[in-house]
Amino acid sequence: MLKSLFYSVLWNKCPQCHEADVFTTNKAYDLKQFDKMNESCSVCGLKYEKEPGYFFGAMYVSYALMVGWFVITWIADSFIFHSETWQYLTFVIITIILFMPLTFRISRLIWLNLFVKYNKNTIVKTTN
Protein backbone atom coordinates (compact mmCIF):
# COMPACT_ATOMS: atom_id res chain seq x y z
CA MET A 1 0.00 0.00 0.00
CA LEU A 2 2.79 2.43 0.90
CA LYS A 3 4.61 1.66 -2.35
CA SER A 4 1.41 2.42 -4.27
CA LEU A 5 0.94 5.73 -2.42
CA PHE A 6 4.52 6.84 -3.09
CA TYR A 7 4.24 5.96 -6.78
CA SER A 8 0.99 7.86 -7.23
CA VAL A 9 2.16 10.92 -5.29
CA LEU A 10 5.64 11.16 -6.79
CA TRP A 11 4.58 10.64 -10.40
CA ASN A 12 1.20 12.48 -10.37
CA LYS A 13 -0.74 9.34 -11.29
CA CYS A 14 -4.31 8.21 -10.71
CA PRO A 15 -4.44 6.38 -7.36
CA GLN A 16 -6.68 3.65 -8.77
CA CYS A 17 -4.94 2.64 -12.02
CA HIS A 18 -1.56 4.44 -11.89
CA GLU A 19 -1.88 5.29 -15.58
CA ALA A 20 -3.25 8.80 -16.19
CA ASP A 21 -2.10 12.08 -14.64
CA VAL A 22 -4.20 13.71 -11.91
CA PHE A 23 -2.98 17.24 -12.62
CA THR A 24 -3.10 18.67 -16.14
CA THR A 25 0.62 19.44 -16.10
CA ASN A 26 3.55 17.74 -14.43
CA LYS A 27 5.26 21.09 -13.87
CA ALA A 28 4.54 22.07 -10.26
CA TYR A 29 6.11 25.48 -10.74
CA ASP A 30 4.00 26.47 -13.75
CA LEU A 31 2.24 29.02 -11.56
CA LYS A 32 -0.63 29.54 -14.00
CA GLN A 33 -1.59 25.86 -14.07
CA PHE A 34 -0.06 24.13 -11.03
CA ASP A 35 -3.49 23.78 -9.40
CA LYS A 36 -5.47 22.57 -12.45
CA MET A 37 -6.71 19.00 -12.05
CA ASN A 38 -8.35 16.69 -14.56
CA GLU A 39 -11.96 16.00 -13.61
CA SER A 40 -11.54 12.26 -13.92
CA CYS A 41 -9.03 9.62 -14.96
CA SER A 42 -8.90 9.18 -18.72
CA VAL A 43 -7.99 5.50 -18.29
CA CYS A 44 -10.19 4.07 -15.51
CA GLY A 45 -12.80 6.84 -15.24
CA LEU A 46 -12.24 7.58 -11.53
CA LYS A 47 -13.78 10.93 -10.65
CA TYR A 48 -11.18 12.82 -8.59
CA GLU A 49 -13.45 15.29 -6.80
CA LYS A 50 -16.15 13.11 -5.25
CA GLU A 51 -18.23 16.04 -3.99
CA PRO A 52 -17.93 19.82 -3.64
CA GLY A 53 -15.35 20.60 -1.00
CA TYR A 54 -13.78 17.14 -1.19
CA PHE A 55 -10.26 18.54 -1.06
CA PHE A 56 -10.78 20.63 2.09
CA GLY A 57 -9.31 17.66 3.93
CA ALA A 58 -6.12 18.06 1.90
CA MET A 59 -5.52 21.28 3.85
CA TYR A 60 -4.93 19.16 6.96
CA VAL A 61 -2.42 17.05 5.04
CA SER A 62 -0.71 20.22 3.83
CA TYR A 63 -0.62 21.56 7.39
CA ALA A 64 0.95 18.30 8.62
CA LEU A 65 3.59 18.45 5.89
CA MET A 66 4.51 22.01 6.81
CA VAL A 67 4.62 21.24 10.54
CA GLY A 68 6.94 18.35 9.71
CA TRP A 69 9.16 20.69 7.69
CA PHE A 70 9.16 23.20 10.56
CA VAL A 71 10.19 20.53 13.09
CA ILE A 72 12.93 19.06 10.87
CA THR A 73 14.44 22.46 10.16
CA TRP A 74 14.17 23.47 13.83
CA ILE A 75 16.04 20.33 14.92
CA ALA A 76 18.70 20.89 12.25
CA ASP A 77 19.06 24.51 13.27
CA SER A 78 19.20 23.73 16.99
CA PHE A 79 21.88 21.07 16.74
CA ILE A 80 23.88 22.06 13.64
CA PHE A 81 23.53 25.69 12.59
CA HIS A 82 22.65 27.57 15.81
CA SER A 83 21.31 30.59 13.92
CA GLU A 84 19.43 33.50 15.43
CA THR A 85 15.66 33.16 15.77
CA TRP A 86 14.92 35.81 13.14
CA GLN A 87 17.25 34.06 10.65
CA TYR A 88 15.60 30.72 11.27
CA LEU A 89 12.07 32.11 10.92
CA THR A 90 13.03 33.97 7.74
CA PHE A 91 14.41 30.74 6.27
CA VAL A 92 11.29 28.74 7.22
CA ILE A 93 8.87 31.34 5.86
CA ILE A 94 10.75 31.65 2.56
CA THR A 95 10.98 27.88 2.08
CA ILE A 96 7.29 27.39 2.92
CA ILE A 97 6.38 29.98 0.27
CA LEU A 98 8.72 28.31 -2.24
CA PHE A 99 7.34 24.83 -1.48
CA MET A 100 3.70 25.93 -1.71
CA PRO A 101 3.01 24.60 -5.23
CA LEU A 102 4.60 21.25 -4.37
CA THR A 103 2.81 21.03 -1.03
CA PHE A 104 -0.52 21.84 -2.69
CA ARG A 105 -0.14 19.03 -5.21
CA ILE A 106 1.34 16.48 -2.82
CA SER A 107 -1.35 17.05 -0.20
CA ARG A 108 -4.14 16.57 -2.77
CA LEU A 109 -2.52 13.40 -4.09
CA ILE A 110 -2.07 12.02 -0.57
CA TRP A 111 -5.71 12.89 0.24
CA LEU A 112 -6.89 11.03 -2.88
CA ASN A 113 -4.73 8.02 -2.00
CA LEU A 114 -6.23 7.83 1.49
CA PHE A 115 -9.65 7.05 0.01
CA VAL A 116 -8.84 5.32 -3.28
CA LYS A 117 -6.75 2.16 -3.34
CA TYR A 118 -4.65 0.91 -6.22
CA ASN A 119 -6.25 -1.92 -8.16
CA LYS A 120 -4.09 -3.47 -10.86
CA ASN A 121 -7.17 -5.21 -12.25
CA THR A 122 -9.04 -1.94 -12.87
CA ILE A 123 -11.24 -2.20 -15.93
CA VAL A 124 -10.03 0.15 -18.60
CA LYS A 125 -12.64 2.73 -19.60
CA THR A 126 -13.66 2.31 -23.21
CA THR A 127 -14.14 5.35 -25.43
CA ASN A 128 -16.45 5.36 -28.42
Tell me: pLDDT of 49 over 50. Answer: yes
Domain-wise residue ranges, the chain: 2-115
Closest CA to 19 of 1, 4, 34, 35: 4
Look at residue 122 in the predicted model and tell me its pLDDT: 73
Mean pLDDT throughout 82-86?
91
d(CA 49, CA 33): 17
| H-only helix segments in the chain | 2-11, 58-76, 85-115
Q: What is the mean pLDDT of residues 84-111?
A: 94
**pLDDT confidence of residue 105:** 96
Mean pLDDT of the chain: 91
